[in-house]
Amino acid sequence: MDLPVDLSAIPALPAPEGWTTDFNSPVNRAVQYIAVSSIVVPMAFVCVLLKLYMKITVIRKPGWDDLASIIAVIGLVAYQAIFIWLLDRGAGRHAWDVSISLYLKEITLSKTLAIIQQPTSLAAKLALLGMYHRLFSPKKGIKYTIIIGMVVCTIIYIVIMALYIPLQDNAAGILRLNRINKAQAILNLSTDIFIFVVPLVAISGLNLSRSQKIGVGAVFMTGSLAVASCVISVVYRFQTMTNMTDLTWQLVPFYIVLTVEISIGVMCGCMPVFPALLQKSGVAKWWSATYKSISSILLRSKTGTTMSSTKPSANHGYRVGSSGSDEDYVQLRDAGSIQKHVQIDVSSVRENSLTETREYLREV
């Protein structure tokens, strides 16, 4: 009669030459994941809190995309917590320092993480697409494109999640997991590129206010980071799933990239409210004053024209627009010429570019 085999005493992989099996080995990559995730996950969490604060208390127009951001950040926190729990049970160590019993548990939990990732990533993408839908809904072509994108993303992630659920903890299940991961990497990159390109097409030819440009610019900047992180994720997915010899050791950089990718996606959906937040906190006014000072210096060095903030004289005054705000008033003084006082209403030239505004000032 065969005696039962104690899987907790057998390493998942024979130790290579020069190494010995040590189930209590301190050699692991746990600290790498904890260090990175402890930065990006709280950043995403704070971004969602700030978004909710602005949408509920200041803008007072919460939407369903805010609910999507909440779902995404909850999924992200759960994702991080489960993998940190997994790190305490063998993940991040070499496979020869992990017993077969722990190795099998890691495969099961990895499948759980893959399932959690799908609604989390979907919610992050829907938060962005929902914001785009609200901003660009007057343009019917863009509106329907965004709706189609929402439907396609939803179908993709539901199908992938359904494929992960029935996977078995055996060699056949691992092989199928490998194939699904590679396919998902390509689909993730495709959807990220779509989400990045849609607003670029939508705003082409539009005249936006400064606050809108700041908001859209911030979204684009983080959107490019999302695409970049997704590209890195594709590389790591293919590397990890192609060489699965020391899988427990390779899981850490793989999950670091996935956590960063999801975190950036969550933060992208929160960026549009930041201009209003900066304006409310007074940072926007400080930046506006700094920007005007820099523009003044650059214009003076290029044209020999000085700019100062004074009120128009009784005899020589030129007023454009109806605003009487002192901060919109600019005095031009050309060397060897008479003083000309110009007060500009920023709202009257809002649709002009910075170059057009400077040309206008030179002509005056």
Do both 209 and 300 map to the same domain? no
Do both 174 and 301 map to the same domain? no
Residue 11 lies in a domain: yes
Q: Which of 289, 331, 299 is nearest to 313 (CA)?
A: 331
Residue 13 lies in a domain: yes
Do both 164 and 294 map to the same domain? no
Q: Which of 150, 272, 132 is nearest to 201 (CA)?
A: 132
pLDDT at 353: 44
pLDDT at 302: 52
pLDDT at 310: 46
Do both 186 and 45 map to the same domain? yes
User: How many CB atoms neighbour CB 292 within 10 A?
Assistant: 14
Taking the whole predicted model, whether its pTM rises above 0.95 is answered as no
Do both 200 and 341 map to the same domain? no
Residue 2 lies in a domain: no
Q: What is the CATH number of the domain that holds 237?
A: 1.20.1070
pLDDT at 331: 38
Do both 332 and 240 map to the same domain? no
Q: Which residues pair with 320 in a beta bridge?
A: 344
CB 50 within 8 A of CB 274: yes
pLDDT at 330: 38
Do both 255 and 359 map to the same domain? no
Residue 1 lies in a domain: no
Classify the phi-psi angles of 18: left when phi > 0, otherwise alpha if psi is within -120 to 50, otherwise beta.
left
Q: Which of 240, 268, 267 is nearest to 253 (CA)?
A: 240
pLDDT tens for the 364 residues of the chain, in order = 454 667 778 888 888 888 888 888 778 888 999 999 999 999 999 999 988 888 888 777 788 888 999 999 999 999 999 999 888 877 888 888 888 888 888 878 888 888 999 999 999 999 989 888 887 777 788 889 999 999 999 999 999 999 888 877 666 777 777 788 888 888 989 998 998 888 877 776 567 666 666 656 656 666 777 888 888 888 877 877 666 677 788 888 888 988 998 998 888 878 766 666 666 665 555 555 655 666 566 566 555 544 444 444 444 444 444 444 444 433 333 434 444 444 444 444 444 444 544 443 344 3
For the stretch 140-149, contacts whose Cβ atoms lie closer than 8 Å and that sit 24 or more positions apart, written own/partner, are 142/198, 142/201, 142/202, 145/198, 146/198, 149/191, 149/194, 149/195, 149/198
pLDDT at 33: 92
Q: Which of 34, 176, 71, 172 is nearest to 114 (CA)?
A: 176
Do both 213 and 100 map to the same domain? yes
CB 54 within 8 A of CB 90: no
Take residue 276 and report the two structure tokens written for it: 């209003």
Residue 342 lies in a domain: yes
Residue 196 lies in a domain: yes
Do both 298 and 261 map to the same domain? no
Domain tally for the chain?
Answer: 2
Do both 297 and 322 map to the same domain? yes
Residue where a domain stops, chosen among 244, 261, 280: 280
Do both 151 and 288 map to the same domain? no
pLDDT at 148: 94
For residue 236, the surrounding DSSP H or E stretch is helix 210-242
Residue 33 lies in a domain: yes
Residue where a domain stops, chosen among 230, 248, 280: 280
Residue where a domain stops, chosen among 253, 280, 307: 280
Take residue 3 and report the two structure tokens written for it: 């005696």
Residue 354 lies in a domain: yes
Do both 357 and 232 map to the same domain? no
Which spans in 3-99 are helix H? 30-53, 64-87
Boundaries of domain holding 182: 7-280
